[in-house]
Amino acid sequence: MAAAGGWIDVSRPVRDETAVWPGDPPWRYRLASAIARGDVVNVGEVSGTTHAGTHADAPYHVDDGGASIEMLDLDAFVGPAIVVDVAAGDGDIDREEIEAGLASAGSGMPERLLLRTGCDWSAGFPVRCRGIAPRAAAWFAERGLRLIGTDAPSVDAFESKTLDAHRALAVAGVATLESLALAGIAPGRYELVALPLRWVGADAAPVRAALRRIGT
């Protein structure tokens, strides 16, 4: 739903019940100080995986020598973006689907591309979402893409053990957003704001992602 100014929140709410990647530490919020317990103020304490909810990955996520989240160029996370619907396909998302979606939008490769895969989060953590084909990830960089986003929990398929798309994007310097809330978002042109928190040394960080439609 669009808020004042036309901005649409496309980040997933994070709470204790938020589904996280199997094996990751669950996200938790507790009051370290509480007015109800006689303290002067409420002060929260949080713990859990850096990949809970909508988040940005850093190259450090898949490479010990890669940049951590605070080192990334913020310009990649703010600016015009195109939403492409690839929900009707099957298997890894390859360049032909992206080219067809961009052609429908009357666009060449944008600097920021958001993929609406139709990933269903209604029953908890989704394990059957579509990932990005590694060759498509390399092609993105060749075409000048600065950021790729997906409504899936990963740019790789759930069953991937090598995370080839993650690695190809990291090597190419393409920023990644994962677990976007794109259900109901029409394909087309938008303004994107999705700045990651400045967590020094971290492999990922949460974002408050928002879109505003450009044109009709």
Catalytic member of 51, 55, 61, 166:
61
Q: Is there a catalytic annotation at residue 51?
A: no
Residue 4 in tokens: 């004042």
Rounded Cα distance between 180 and 206, Å, is 11
- Residue 54 · residue 177 · CB < 8 Å: yes
Find how far residue 208's CA is from the centre of its chain: 10
Pairing of β 112-116 and β 78-85: parallel
Side-chain-facing half-sphere of 31: CA atoms under 13 Å: 10
Residues 6+ apart with CB under 8 A from 101: 84, 85, 86, 187
Look at the block and give the residue holding tokens 């913020």: 74
Residues forming the active site: 61
